[in-house]
Amino acid sequence: MLRVRHLLIHINTDKGVFGTRQNFADGLNVVRAENYAGKSQLVQSIMYALGMEGMQGPSHAVPLAHALTDYLEYKENGKEGKAKVIDSMVSVEIENGKKQFLTVQRAIAGDRNKHLMTVYEGRAITKKEALSSARDYYVREGGAATNELGFHRRLKDFIGWDLPTAPRFNEPDCPLYLETLFPLFYVEQKLGWGRLPARYPTWLGIRDVGRRTVEFVLGLDAYATAIERTAVNEEIKRLKREWSSARTQAERSGSSIAGIVRGIPVEPIASWPPEVPPTLSVMRDSKWVPISEYLNGLKGRFTELQNIEVPSTEQAEPKIRAELTKLESDLASRERAIAALYEKFETDSAEAEALQQRLDTINDDLRKYRDLRKVRRMGSSDGPEVVNGHCPTCHQDLADSLLDTGNKAVPMTVDQNVSFYEEQIQLFAAVHGNAMHSVQTAEKELRAQRGQVAELRDRIRDIRETLVSASSSPSIEAISDC
């Protein structure tokens, strides 16, 4: 719910200060005046103060008449005069359903950037109760509906609207912008409600904008649509989970033969196989060999072995004792290698995770500083919340010293902070990429080594069985090799 409580227009001219004030109550409010007295300017000023002029089109020009932007005509002691506007400003006090107030102030004419909105957390016109809480926001710029310092994000939170996501023609989905909803609440003089479809801002590129806004405002199918959308999203997530699980299963199957599976797409695809089909390779003599090549080798070896007479245990003993010693030594060495690899894998994983957390934090800080830079470039003098003595997370007062240190030092400017964080992100992203590469390499190597250790153990077991069997019986080791 949104109520306009008070409107103040302040026009500073070369002939003095002009302007108007207007209170608005609940229920019906009628403002009567003769034609050309400025009634339309009054209500359009409210829309402008809320940053809603984008609902009339993409133009960034101030959509108000010359009396507010250029010159005004007045009568004084029966004499007509003309005053040049030096600067002008509109302020509105608004109230939400929780009886909270907000005062929004925006420049109409003058040097101050017209995309900058100063917001007071209370009634700054009628009560002067929130003058110390001023914070600058922006409108008519990218991020105004989504970023922390975007005014329309602040306004929709204040109203208490949970805006649905809307698909666009050629761009990613976006929130249903406030500029698309306000035409339903503002029946302006020229077009009225009779030509409502013509008044929806199509320049924002939202598909079926009229249907979506009416659905949202009247609460028609919006809920059912939201539920359906959630169900579809859940189905997509389920399919992705299944795909990921099947992919992991394939990788595990590969690792059970000391192999690796390559080329299965990370995300599900609609047709199978992909253009570059997945491959399964096994490690032989520290090299990855395609499974087909490995199988051909095995088949050749099988043919060879078929033509060899199986020796008895007694005949094979000297040879297999020597081989047992060698295999046991090899096993011990591989187990040491696995222990070292595992330690490396754990260290790399912990490092990658820590780097990811650091990157997330830096990205969050960067977004806040970019927002701040945006309003600073528009002329705001707001500082980062932490510099203002407020915790940027919980917004409580933050005393950084027990003693009054006078003016607090600002170690870096906002621009320097943005550059610093951008560099930090580049640096940490590169380090994180390397860490992830190390983790993946260690993981693959670990799987391959474990597979080879399993094979070694099988072979050692066969040899030991051969050594404890009757001397005239065929060598189990030789048969096992077959």
Partner 1 sequence: LIFDEPQQQSVEENAFREMLRHAQGEKNCQIIITTSQPALLSLAADHATDKA
- Given the rule CB under 8 A, which residues bind partner 1? 3-4, 22, 24-35, 37-40, 42-44, 46-47, 185-189, 192-194
CB of 4 to partner 1, least distance (A): 7
Q: How far apart are CA 204 and CA 174, in angstroms?
A: 10
Based on the number of CB atoms within 10 Å of its own CB, is 322 exposed (0-12), middle (13-18) or buried (19 or more)? exposed
Going by C-alpha positions, the residue among 421, 430, 415 that lies closest to residue 365 is: 421
Cα separation of 10 and 109, whole Å?
Answer: 10
Token pair 């004792």 is found at 321
Q: Least separation, in Å, of the C-beta of 108 and partner 1? A: 18
Q: Which is nearer to partner 1, 42 or 310 (CB)?
A: 42
* Least separation in angstroms between CB 75 and partner 1: 14
Quote the CA–CA distance of 35 and 33 in Å, as a whole number.
7
Tokens read off for 183? 């035409």
Nearer to partner 1, 95 or 371 (CB): 95
Structure tokens at 473: 């019986």
Note the residue count of the chain: 482
The position carrying tokens 């060598």 is 475
Question: What's the one-letter identity of residue 61?
Answer: A
Minimum Å gap between C-beta 44 and partner 1 is: 8
Which of 80, 76, 49, 77 is closest to 62 using CA atoms? 49
Closer CB to partner 1, residue 52 or residue 280?
Answer: 52
- Nearest CA to 324 out of 121, 119, 480 is that of 480
Structure tokens at 227: 């539920």
CB of 115 to partner 1, least distance (A): 23
Smallest gap from Cβ 169 to partner 1, in A, equals 30
Q: Is 125 left (phi over 0), alpha (psi -120 to 50) or beta?
A: alpha
CB contact at 8 A, 288 and 282: yes
CB of 2 to partner 1, least distance (A): 8
CB nearer to partner 1: pick between 3 and 367 = 3
Closer by beta carbon to partner 1, 43 or else 280: 43
Residue 31 CB, nearest distance to partner 1 (Å)?
5
> Which residue, 21 or 408, is less far from partner 1 as judged by CB?
21
* Minimum CB distance to partner 1 smaller for 24 or for 243: 24
240 is written with which tokens? 């992705």
Nearer residue to partner 1 within complex by CB, 4 or 86: 4
